Chains A and B, each alone.
Chain A
Amino acid sequence: MRKYLLYGFLIITGFLTLAPFIWMLSASFMFDGHASVFPPRFFPDEFTFIQYETLFSRLDVSRNLLNSVLISSMVTVVSLVFNSMAGFAFAKYRFRGKDTIFKMLLSSMVIPSQVTMLPLFLMLKEFGFLNTYMAILVPGLANVFGIFLIRQYVMAIPDSLIESARIDGATDFQIYYKIIVPLAMPVMVTLAIFTFMGTWNDFLWPLIVLNDSSMYTLPVALANLMGEHTKDPELMMAGSVITILPVMMLFLVLQKYYIKGIMMGSVKE
């Protein structure tokens, strides 16, 4: 009896969680005006791709999709290299001021990024980086969370592996990319998903530094579109599907790594 009650509850809450997505998907395949009806429809009355056609042909969303893909990939690759190198250094080397620097980095995590936005904006303006991919890449080059995650993982790799490689004549850089990187691959994948999704979903910073509609990422383009199409749920839902679908697919494929990352991030020092 209790079991069926639990299942009933789980299924109802599961449906409530998914209902917004189901409605979004359904409305995105409707003609103009067909989603503004009472009662709301969970299936299109007449199925059409017209909203997607409008987005790609007239509103040039493919350009924004490309921006999002390129920016998120760039940030992911570069920050992965920077963070993994620093994480390796903090895990396996001894150097002056190591603990102080690491503690400083960790405590800086309490500073909200909004504090940096105004000076960073002025700085990027001086460099001529506004309205370019660089404006997003530059603040994302490295981050404390990434360094921390890599360090935790690399610390568990036995020192003996590094020492025997050194005896065999490996240089420090060879140790990094022939031993550390392959062994730390699971945590690198985890960090890559976090970074990619974080950059893809980010809104405030791209909104500030990208002012030309051809440079917009999907969320900024979508927010902008919303201003002109408040009364067009069908079009807006198609736009939302395009924005959400890539990250959702990525998550479904790599969910094991993503979930692990949450757990690792929550391990206390």
Chain B
Amino acid sequence: MKFKPVYFFLAPALTAIFVFFFIPVISAFIISFTDFDIYAIGDYSKFRFTGLDNYFKLFDNQLFWKALSNTFYFVIISGPLSIAVSLGAAMILNSKLVKFKGIFRLVYFMPVVTTLVAVSIVWRFIYHPEFGLLNYGLSFVGIEKIDWLGDPFWSMPSIIILSIWKNFGYNMIIFIAGLQNIPEELYEAAQIEGANGWQRFTKITLPMLAPTTVFITIITMIGYFQLFAEPYIMTQGGPLDSTLSIVLYMYQEGFRWWNMGYSSAIAFVLFVIILAGTLIQMWVQKRREA
């Protein structure tokens, strides 16, 4: 039998993905049913299978529910707001009235390519209650100084504002492409029929963009559920655990306290949530098409 060249092309990538992705995924699943901890790292014989114990412990832990609800708060507010801002920016930049589109598009896109850790640090100072840019800007419209990162009420909104600023440019690009694919005749016909701007938006733009929007919603949601660097840099999960996210909680349990079994269980909960979210989105899309 002759060696087929196709395997030569496939082998490196597929081996790498199998060994360094699929095997770890399966191992993590197994580890999540054990009491793997710092003693087991030194001596692999020191861990036992404990069944669903980690998951029971997790669901009994107030801190886990806090991290879960914080993350949902972040995703549910930040997701739709980001997408709305992206769509708004895309529609303005797609308008025939506007020139110099390239420059504005570039400016809006700038935060996307920058390093999250670096901009989190920049924003930490922007949120400074005394000297920060934001409170200074707000003082012009008569808003009193807010302790953005120090107040448990404002800490999560602070992270939401940062993430919208950081990310809206990305989806804006995808929306612009989607808008350009809508045939001009549809709008002309609607205009002749006497549809106003809002009607054209809700009856033409939104339905025609639906597939794009579903795609954007999925990738945005997947990304946002993995919230980590912003709270790690700006608040360390505080104040009063108000910005503790699932991934931050997983990181602390796994790599600060070395409770690896427990931490793997947290990772799998994250996976199940993301999977469920993706399936719901795809189901919604299928129903629309049917």
Question: Which residues in A have some Cβ–Cβ distance to B below 8 Å?
Answer: 2-3, 6-7, 9-10, 13-14, 17-21, 23-24, 27, 35-40, 81-83, 85-86, 88-90, 93, 95, 101, 105, 108, 110-112, 114-123, 125, 138-139, 141-144, 147, 171-173, 176, 197, 200-201, 203-204, 208, 218-220, 222-223, 226, 233, 236-237, 239-240, 243-244, 247-248, 251, 255, 258-259, 262-263, 266, 268
Contacts and interface: CB of A to CB of B under 8 A. Distances in A.
Given A112-B226, A112-B274, A244 B119 contact: yes
Contacts of B28: 115-116, 118-119
Contacts of A263: 173-174, 177
Interface in B197-222: 211-212, 215-216, 222
Q: Which 3 A-B pairs have the closest CB atoms?
A: A172-B5, A86-B13, A119-B27
B6 A89 contact: yes
Contacts of B25: 108, 111, 115-116, 119
Contact of B232 (A122, A201, A223): A223
B61 interface: no
B165 A17 contact: yes
B13 A240 contact: no
- Which of A89, A114, A218 gathers the greatest number of chain B CB atoms within 10 Å? A114
A134 B24 CA distance: 17
B117 A219 contact: yes
Nearest to A18: B107
B270 A243 contact: no
Contact of A219 (B41, B118, B173): B118
30 contacts: A10-B104, A17-B165, A23-B126, A35-B125, A35-B131, A83-B13, A88-B9, A89-B6, A110-B222, A111-B271, A112-B222, A112-B225, A112-B270, A114-B247, A114-B270, A115-B25, A115-B28, A115-B270, A118-B31, A120-B20, A204-B229, A208-B255, A219-B116, A219-B118, A223-B121, A237-B122, A244-B115, A259-B173, A266-B174, A266-B212
Given A17-B107, A223-B117, A240-B119, A141 B16 contact: yes
B267 A222 contact: no
Contacts of B131: 35-38, 40, 233
A53 B113 CA distance: 26
B114 A248 contact: yes
B115 to A, nearest CB: 5
- Which of B8, B23, B107, B216 gathers the greatest number of chain A CB atoms within 10 Å? B107
Interface stretch (B70-78, B92-100, B150-158, B186-194): B92-100
A17 B113 CA distance: 13
Given A116-B21, A120-B24, A141-B12, A14 B107 contact: yes
A215 to B, nearest CB: 16
Contacts of B107: 14, 17-18
Contact of A141 (B20, B124, B174, B264): B20
Contacts of B21: 108, 111, 116, 139
